[in-house]
Amino acid sequence: TKERLDTKHPEDRKGISGCRMFDGEDLEYHNRVKMQMMQQKDWVEQQKREKKIACQKDWVEQQKREKKIACQMEKEEEMAYAKQTLELNRMRGMLEDENNKKRRDMLKAMQEENQRLAKEKKDREKREKLEELESDYQEIAFAMDPYGNNPMPENYQEYAKSKQIFHKPQKLFHFVIYQKLFIQMN
């Protein structure tokens, strides 16, 4: 007989006939199938764990990618905000410069207008003073010659300039006092 290594030794045969195990018969089939099922279950569990770990790694990597994208988007938003802020500051500066220029122009125009009004006022006061002086002169002339023997010059300003009496109020005041004294003495 041929001996097989995977079968039990012929001395293990018990009994008279010793035909408890035949060549080609698999008495360990149920144990082997059970062991294969356990191995397959272990493999499936191992694959599940590996898949879970891979999913966790993918999840961690996905989280890292999302975090990186969020960080990048935040940086882009900050850059856009900074750019917008710079643009707004530039525009505000331009508007302030334009406003300051308009204000300076307006102040200059106001000063020119004030100077013009001051000159007009000065001219008006000067004209009023000359009219007052002329009136005073006529009063003095009438007081000196009530009967009109001394004719009035036609142009009082030329007369005042030629006599150099009425161009200064102090001299006019002295002249008026002198004339009043002269009238009283006569």
Long-range CB pairs of 179-183, under 8 A, 24+ apart, other chains included:
179/140, 179/143, 179/144, 180/143, 182/144, 183/143, 183/144
DSSP string, 148-162: S-SPPPS-HHHHHHH
157 or 61, greater pLDDT: 61
Confidence of residue 1 (pLDDT cuts 50, 70, 90): very low
Confidence of residue 128 (pLDDT cuts 50, 70, 90): confident
Average pLDDT over residues 166-185: 54
Sign of the CA dihedral running 125, 126, 132, 135: negative
pLDDT in tens, 58-89: 888 889 999 999 999 999 999 999 999 999 99
Average pLDDT over residues 11-33: 67
Q: What residues contact 144, with CB distance under 8 A and at least 6 apart?
A: 150, 179, 182, 183
88 or 6, greater pLDDT: 88
- Kindly report the average pLDDT of the chain as a whole number: 77
Confidence of residue 101 (pLDDT cuts 50, 70, 90): very high
Q: Which of 12-21, 58-67, 134-143 has the lowest mean pLDDT?
A: 12-21
Residue 57, pLDDT score: 87
pLDDT in tens, 39-48: 999 999 999 9
pLDDT of 162 higher than 90: no
Token pair of 130, please? 């000359």
